[in-house]
Amino acid sequence: MKEMFKIKGTYPYIIALFLNAFTDLGHKIIIQNTVFKIYDNQEQIILTAIVNALILLPFIMVFTPAGFLSDKFPKNKVMVYAAALAVILTLAITASYYMGWFEVAFGLTFLLAMQSAIYSPAKYGYIKELVGNKFISAGNAAVQAATTVAILSGIVVYTVLFENSLTTYETADDILREVAPLGWLLVTGSLLELYFMSTLPNQQRVPSERKFHFRRYISGYYLRKNMKTITRKRPILEAIFGLSIFWGVSQVALTIFPAYAKDVLGITNTIYVQGILGLTALGIIMGAIIAARFSKFYINMGLVPFSAIGMTLSLFFIPTFNHLEPIAVLFFIFGLSSGMFIVPLNSFIQKHAPGVHLGTIIAGNNFIQNIFMVSFLLLTTFFAYEGINAGGLFYVIAALAGIMAIYMIRKHQLMLAWFIGEFVLSFRYNFVYRGQEKVPHDGAVLLMANHVSWIDWIIVPFAIERRTVFMMDRGIYNWPIVHTFFKWGGAIPVSARAAKDAFKMVKEHVLKHDLVTLFPEGGINRGEELQKFQRGYEIAVKGSEGVIVPAYIGGLEGSRFSRSVKKFVPQRSLWRRKVTIIYGDPMPMSTTAEELQKEVQILKDEYNAQ
């Protein structure tokens, strides 16, 4: 991530997004806290839902023009003009505060959201243009973290200032007059945002020739055309639906919690209520950082079902407690899971969306997400009107999150299994990978490494986006508890009696252009020197197309998973053992065992020389 921030424009871009979120949230906090002070029970839930709906509806209404502007004009210019509009709107909002016009301030929430909706596709589409595919996960993590820090800061700053500004009041208009000076903080934030946006470089390489026809917009032609663009790639559409359900569930959770806090927990101070929601934001920041950490080499989709499970469980258990402390922990877990969920899905959409349609697809993402959020808020309003309390609504959204989690598990079950393995081992080992870009992204590949421990088969492919099949001892393969996992994960069982069958399976995978991981030493090495490489693979792949990639594993000798007689002194990073995996240059599939061993020895010498 440090390399990403060396790219010109990264710092101003992140700061501008922080200010944008901080300012937008500030007005929302003032309005929501006013509602919290004046109204109770179902009326409070309904009004809070309306506020949120006013923020969401513009993203549905301007789907087509927002996508068009982002694809037609340089994204940095779109953001500059949108930031200038924000200055005008915050001045109008400040005036409504001083006049005590609660309804006007309430309505201006819609216009401020309209401004955000217009330039949202440019704002998020600019990530890919600025940092490229190499840093797309890190870029999304940085954006998510900056936005969430802004939300957290906004919750704390505006809520504390809001509470400290109040003296005596009877109506919502009275409250706005007392907190009116906070409007100048909104204006200052929008002015600074405009300044930083104006410093961003233009990343549009080729001018667009697109034209906007108002009649086609009114007739719905553009809507149908843009929806076809979104639905053309099913994986992108599935990612959008996953995000949409998440945002819908999150919107309901944040809407009903103030009422739950007031009715069940007896909390009337907005600082406590917003503080709990602030913990959610803190969790999102940490979750985004974790997602970037585990997506260092590729977008790790195993994070998605893992985090969906975390969100489901946290939502389910929130209404089972009537004390603030455990609920605060559960909201933090919900936020942590949310950050790990958002980053890979947004990165996936941006990476796989064609450049010429990036703005349209991101606008469509906003469009579908906000339809879900508005629909969920309407259902929340209906349930509240029918008398269902906040606790019951938590169970409803937990069930919806559970359905999403089940779908994501089925969709990404293999990546989930690999992620869990990497996640668990990362507590004990610090894995360092070098040369992983040498492994081809397609075609038949034999990944051949030395064999020093029981966990070699799982750690060698961590830095490679392609999933691998691997050969392992039949005795271990048949262990009762883990047999299903090994079979499902693509393990090829091998024994002295069934070696031919095992290599026949290797041949089949090579013909299917798969990635196969083998350990030609034939067994775990107990000493310092490489054992003689076995020639079984030579017969299996004879005459096949593809390449062999040699690899060396260093640092596991003497660990609890190894069989080394000599206890080597490991390199450590704090309490974790440092393990280095080095990949060599691809070699022809006709490479002999002797030639392969020489290459692995060279990698070993390279490791020892470091």
The CA angle 516-521-526, to the nearest 5 degrees, is 130
Between the alpha carbon of residue 215 and those of residues 334, 368, 438, 585, 598, the distances in Å are 44, 23, 52, 57, 70
Residue 204 has pLDDT above 70, yes or no: no
Q: Would you place residue 118 in the very low, low, confident or very high pLDDT band (cuts 50, 70, 90)?
A: confident
Residue 519 · residue 451 · CB < 8 Å: yes
Read off the pLDDT band of 50 (50, 70, 90).
confident
Identify the pLDDT of residue 272: 78
Amino acid at 22: F
Angle between helices 358-385 and 41-61 (to 10 degrees): 160
Q: Which residue has the higher pLDDT, 580 or 59?
A: 580
User: Distance (Å, rounded) from C-alpha 290 to C-alpha 167?
Assistant: 43
Lowest mean pLDDT among 263-267, 297-301, 341-345: 263-267
Mean pLDDT of 238-258: 85
- Look at 152-156, 217-221, 229-233 and tell me which has the smallest mean pLDDT: 217-221
23 vs 87: CA distance, rounded Å: 10
Would you state the pLDDT for residue 550? 94
Kindly indicate the confidence band of residue 217, based on its pLDDT and cuts at 50, 70 and 90. low
Packed helices 102-131 and 10-38: angle between N→C axes, nearest 10 degrees: 160
Read off the pLDDT of residues 589-600 as tens digits, 9 standing for 90 and up: 989 989 999 999
pLDDT at 310 over 90: yes
**Does residue 393 have a pLDDT over 90?**
no
Q: Could you tell me the CA-to-CA distances from 175 to 22, 57, 154 in Å, in that order?
A: 21, 26, 19
Q: What is the pLDDT of residue 570?
A: 58
Exposed e or buried b per residue across 169-206, where buried means at least 16 C-beta atoms within 10 angstroms of its C-beta: beebbbbbbbbbebbebbbebbbbbbebbeebeebeee
- CA angle, 380 as apex, 378 and 386 as ends, to 5°? 105
Cα–Cα dist 90/34, whole Å: 18
Residues 6+ apart with CB under 8 A from 264: 322, 390, 391
pLDDT for the residue numbered 566: 56
Report the C-alpha gap between 201 and 9 in whole angstroms: 6
Per the rule left: phi > 0, alpha: psi between -120 and 50, beta: everything else, 530 is beta
What would the mean pLDDT of 507-516 be, rounded to a whole number?
Answer: 87
pLDDT-derived band at 367 (thresholds 50, 70, 90) equals confident
Give the three-class secondary structure for 77.
helix
pLDDT category of residue 187 using cuts at 50, 70 and 90: very high
- What SS3 class is residue 608? helix
pLDDT at 587: 92
Angstrom distance (rounded) from CA 277 to CA 328 = 8
Q: Which residue has the higher pLDDT, 310 or 136?
A: 310
Q: Which amino acid is at 206?
A: V
Query: What's the pLDDT score for residue 1?
Result: 59
Residue 8 reports pLDDT greater than 80: yes
Which has more confidence, 465 or 97?
97
Enumerate the H helices of 132-233 as residue ranges: 136-165, 172-178, 182-198, 214-219, 221-231
Q: What is the structure's pLDDT at 207?
A: 56
Share of the chain above pLDDT 90, in %: 19
pLDDT for position 491: 79
Going by pLDDT thresholds of 50, 70 and 90, the confidence category of residue 494 is confident
Looking at per-residue pLDDT, the higher value among 376 and 596 belongs to 596
Judge whether residue 548 has pLDDT over 90.
yes
Stretch 244-248: mean pLDDT, rounded? 87
What is the average per-residue pLDDT within 179-183? 91
pLDDT of residue 542: 82
Q: Looking at the DSSP assignment, which residues form a beta bridge with residue 434?
A: 582
Rounded Cα gap, residues 421 and 429, in angstroms: 12
Give CA–CA dist 393/384, Å, rounded.
9
pLDDT band at 362 (very low <50, low <70, confident <90, very high): confident
The full set of domains in the chain, from first to last, is 4-422 (1.20.1250.20), 428-609 (3.40.1130.10)
- Is 566 or 187 the better-scoring residue by pLDDT? 187
User: Rounded to whole angstroms, how far apart are CA atoms 170 and 176?
Assistant: 11
Average pLDDT over residues 298-318: 93
Q: Phi-psi category of 543—alpha, beta or left, where left has phi over 0 and alpha has psi -120 to 50?
A: left
DSSP-assigned letter for residue 531: P
Q: What is the dihedral of CA 477, 479, 483, 489, to 10 degrees?
A: -40
pLDDT of residue 205 exceeding 70, the answer is: no
Question: 243 vs 53, which has greater pLDDT?
Answer: 243
The helix-helix angle for 358-385 and 324-352 (nearest 10°) equals: 150
Identify the pLDDT of residue 306. Answer: 95
CA angle 528, 534, 536 (to 5 degrees): 155
| All residues at 6 or more sequence positions from 125 whose CB lies less than 8 Å from its CB, including other chains | 70, 75, 350, 358, 359, 362
**Region of residue 514 (phi > 0: left; psi between -120 and 50: alpha; otherwise: beta):** beta
Q: What is the average per-residue pLDDT within 90-96?
A: 93
- Residue 210 is predicted with a pLDDT of 66
Q: What pLDDT shows up at residue 406?
A: 94
CA separation for the pair 387, 496 (Å, rounded):
69
Q: How confident is the model at residue 405 (pLDDT cuts 50, 70, 90)?
A: very high
Distance CA 107, CA 100 (A): 13
Tokens at 80, concatenated: 């500059």
In this structure, of 60-64, 74-78, 122-126, 553-557, the range with the lowest mean pLDDT score is 60-64
Which SS3 state, helix, strand or coil, does residue 352 take? helix
pLDDT at 565 over 70: no
What is the overall mean pLDDT for the chain?
Answer: 83
**Do 356 and 204 meet the contact criterion of CB atoms below 8 Å apart?**
no
Does residue 203 contact residue 129 with C-beta atoms inside 8 Å? yes
Q: How confident is the model at residue 549 (pLDDT cuts 50, 70, 90)?
A: very high
Which amino acid, one-letter code, is at 370?
A: N
Asked whether residue 314 carries a pLDDT value surpassing 90, the answer given is yes
Mean pLDDT of 435-442: 89
Q: Give the model's confidence band at 581: pLDDT under 50 very low, under 70 low, under 90 confident, else very high.
A: very high
Task: Tell how far CA 527 is from the center of its chain.
Answer: 43
| pLDDT at residue 302, as a whole number | 92
Matching residue, tokens 């950082």? 289
**Among residues of the chain, what percentage have pLDDT more than 70?**
91
More reliable by pLDDT, 217 or 253 = 253
Alpha helices in 39-135 (DSSP H): 41-61, 63-72, 75-99, 102-131
